[in-house]
Amino acid sequence: MGVDRPLRSVVVTSTVPNEGKSTIAVELARAMASSGKRTLLLECDLRRRSLARLLGVRPTAGWWAVVMGEAELSRAMTHTGEGNLFLLDAEPGLPSPTDLLDSKRFRALFDALSRSFAYVVVDTPPVGMFVDAAVVAAQADATVMVVREGFAKRKGVVRARGQLEQAGANVVGIVMSFCRENPS
């Protein structure tokens, strides 16, 4: 990655649930879209979808319908009403999330999305809970881990980062969430 190959797709994950990863993913996507570039927020936390709710939108289809040929990508993508920011949701209750995310069809969709948008921000489940995050992170240009202050255990964070790197993910940083303000 670098000047010749900029970071265009970013996975946002955490070690355990409730660290704020989905909120960070939404805010990162909003910041990228505010630069004037077309940005897609991709729902890949198939067990606990939250992006549509956080954005206040109601998608008509999800990415699985697209890869199965049941919906056109243009119909499945939802404009968020925020400039250049779009959402591609996932359908509820999809079976075998890891197998779906590791499928050739999903990989082909992810590649196409990465070519069609300036930025793709992906929300995944916590890497400490499911392998899904590592599977998707290996396909992305970069991965950011969200760690809630005083919540996740250091050993778990180190283990999760190792799992991501072992899968081939490019972990570019850690974002601390829910930080206490230090009075000066």
Reported pTM: 0.93
Return mean pLDDT, the chain.
93
Whether 3 has a pLDDT exceeding 80, the answer reads no
41, amino acid identity:
L
Confidence (pLDDT) at 1: 47
Q: Where are the domains of the chain?
A: 10-150
Q: Is the pLDDT of residue 182 over 80?
A: no
Q: What is the pLDDT of residues 133-150, one digit of tens each?
A: 999 999 999 999 999 988
The superfamily in CATH containing domain 10-150 is P-loop containing nucleotide triphosphate hydrolases (3.40.50.300)
What is the tens place of the pLDDT at every residue in 49-97? 999 999 999 999 999 999 999 999 999 999 999 999 999 999 998 889 9
- Residues 162-181 pLDDT 10s: 999 999 999 999 998 988 88
The DSSP secondary structure of 16-66, one letter per residue, reads: SSSSSHHHHHHHHHHHHHTTTS-EEEEE--TTS--HHHHHT---S--HHHH
